Amino acid sequence: MTDEIRKYDDDFTEATFLTKADHIFIMILSAIMENDLSSVKHYLSEDVYNHFDELVKSYEKDKVIRLFDEMNVKSTDIVNYTVEDNNLNIKVLLVSRYMDYFIDEDGEFKSGINDHRIELEHHITFTKRLDAKDLDEVRRCPSCGHSLDINASGLCPYCGQTIDMSDYDYIITEIDNI
């Protein structure tokens, strides 16, 4: 399947892509625990970001913190790809393991599973525009021109502009089971 995907994305390598998928998934869980999605916003479509933002706001409203202890990714596999509307969509099955529970602001256990890890399957769709610009072009902020480390937060530390990764790379357009 890698050779077929490479027809649409010259730079595609399966190992690099799957490593990135694992990394972004763990970053999302960490961002939810911190009630701060700014470090992952650039990896998410607007719809996915809004979903997680509503989730985090509901935790804040309920005065609880969601924790994912001993989290890891057991496996990640590409299950399918499609080309639609000038987009390359790669569907991934990611199997994760972690404890998933809530505590209150005083650190008291509220609900969930905190005594053993659960295993969950997550179906994630990564989308990249076929006319995406070279990722090397985003090494500088398109707003102010300063150097960027897009993997850190996708946010320019000088002017505060969020980099729209959909112009350059894969973003998550669908995800379930979080």
pLDDT value of position 65: 97
Eight-class DSSP state of 41: G
pTM (predicted TM-score): 0.88
Section 39-68 average pLDDT: 96
Tell whether the model's pLDDT for residue 177 goes beyond 90.
no
What mean pLDDT is predicted for residues 132-156?
A: 68
Q: Does domain 2-175 have CATH number 3.10.450.240?
A: yes
- Mapped onto helix, strand or coil, the DSSP state of residue 56 is helix
pLDDT number for residue 47: 96
CA distances from 29 to 9, 60, 80, 154 (A): 28, 16, 24, 17
- pLDDT given for residue 149 in this prediction: 64
3-class state of residue 72 by DSSP: strand
C-alpha to C-alpha distance for 68 and 107, rounded to whole angstroms = 14
Residue 81 three-state SS? strand
CB atoms within 10 A of CB 123: 14
In the block, residue with structure tokens 């357009």? 173
Nearest CA to 42 out of 164, 131, 169, 173 is that of 164
How many C-beta atoms lie closer than 10 Å to residue 32's C-beta?
20
